[in-house]
Chains A and B, each alone.
Chain A
Amino acid sequence: MSSSRSVGEVRASRRLYLACLMAMLGGAVFLGFLVGTLGPIGPGEPERITFDEAIKAIFGMRDTGPTYVVSVFWDIRIPRVLLAGLIGASLACAGAAMQAVFRNSMADPFIIGVSSGAAVGAASAGLIGLTALSAMFAPLFAFVCSIITVFAVYWLGVYRGRVYVDTLLLSGVAVAAFLGAVVSFLIYYAGQDYHQLIPWLLGSLSTAKWSYVYLIAFPAFAGSIVIFLYGRDLNALLLGEETAHNLGANPEFLKKLMLAVAALMTAGAVAFAGIIGFVGLIVPHMMRLIFGADHRMLVPASAMFGATFLILADALSRVVIPAEELPVGIITAMCGGPFFLYLLRRSRTRGEAS
């Protein structure tokens, strides 16, 4: 970085970076549309369609080819890619917000108990047989239970109206451990019937529908925008709550707002796609290594890269094993881990060289 860069130059370079990320996201969306059992990129079984046919299907031109091709794209593939994008963005933004609130780059959006609460909800919905009545019961229960869990963890971390982040963190860990045991018990108790829960526990987008996309779009967009607008305050918070206060940013309000927004975004994501690990932890961290800690860059970058990352991971999950789908959580961890380690090493060696 040259020492003479002015605000204008910094802003211009940021716009350029964001434009690149946007282009990457566009590319990922397009690629996501094409990858799958039915598509020009994929195993080609039971049937391969050409690139042309796929494009036509995406643009809804029903005049050529069998009609089910169009419906596979419009009823399954496209909502799935969009859902992956929205969930990826939600998890990454919520992760960035949590890392700021906890002033700890090891924090993730699940740290306040969202995922463990959701798991209990989804498992119990199955146990009482509600999932048999309607497929919407599992996400509904997951969402409600994760919000209840977040309230419980929050209540444990608050004393006289002040949020004590270290207590909150430990409460989150303890509650997650407890609920994890509850879920394990439920699975063990229910035996065979619970194999259907496994993809959900490992994160999967295979149930994607348009209704999910509509439901998740609001928390994803509104949440990311709120986090972005409080970016300057989050920057100050990273230097400590007292410093944030002294700079005119109200840290108590900020922490509560961020916890609420991140909890909603994450609970929505988990309800529909299960527990997709790593995105909320790794993506904001990666973006920080590349662009620095300023949230006005970090939040949009995380949103776009989170979306890109999950769309690509999901596309890979569809084709990596022929005629079978791997839970996407496995892919995110397998791809995210090494890439993250590479970035970490690189920044370390670069730091020593300078």
Chain B
Amino acid sequence: MHFLLPLFFLGTSLAQDPSSLTDVPERFRSNDLSASSHAIGEVCYGRLILPSGATCNPAALSEVEEPTFFASGAVQNGNDAYAMANDFIFQKIDSDAISKLFTSKRTQSYRGQVGLMATVRNFQASFEPYRVQFASQFDNPNYPAVALHASSERNLSFSGGTSLSLLHRHLQFISVGVKASWIERQFIHQKFTLTEAVLTPLDSLIPIESQKGVLVDASVMVIPPFFKPIALSFAVTHIGQLKPYSIYYYQPTDLALGLSFSNELTLGKVNFSVDIRDFLYANQIASVLYAGASYQIGIVEIMGGWNKNAATLGAQIGFRSVFIALAYDTYQSDLMETTANDRLSMEIRISI
């Protein structure tokens, strides 16, 4: 799998932030933590229908053919990281939890998501009661310091999208959509040394912050009547703000462009998709690009993706009501290491 590394470093070396030890890792701002989305590079506006059958682009709801209603769970990395994330996010932080940070593996990373999703033509609703991301990094054994990043989110969202053929039949190639999400977030983003951990009271050492609010995305999609495999999307994203303001989750209202090419083959279907997202305030080109490709035949979908955070390969297998998606990715550590870490994500989806 390490043949992915050159591809990965090509982009991430450009996008790396030198203050990343204390900044919230970029990947904490992911739209979707599921393995199937991760496997196509977390493309959102460039992909009309995601491998799960849901859609991230509200305007693409006009293209939904099959109603989908599923419960899903997705995890990345193993039990150790999960237990540590659980300690910091859902338990009362104690000295045992702190000591684990200094004695466990150098880098711990965990992402988990559990949700319900219902998608029909023109409408989608989702509820994610559990969406947790955790990363801890232990640096410099002689003067031990730990960077701790953890966030827990609850998310309830409703999307609606329709073709403009409602207004005039000649406008059937244009669709519009809106997505509104209610988000509640609790988070910790802190760096401290072993000495500070010993001398400082835990409440002030690791202050837990929270924010909540509504974010709205609005998109327009055009499927040219003369070449239907192509779909172009334009979106205004993150309209609104979570309160209180936090510099760790600075997501100003921005723009996104999506390009999708999908074509039915004799056997199977191919899809190529590209997103250019949040480019108004971006510093580097690589940080706004998301790309994904997939080939779906029968019960199998083979996927590949790339974005500033990771290069990914994945597969989804599913028949009738049970689906399993696996994504393997290489991503650069937030400690400016020259090596990349490997990560395996798994998602189980059960159609209801």
A and B form one complex? no
B interface list, Cβ under 8 A from A: none
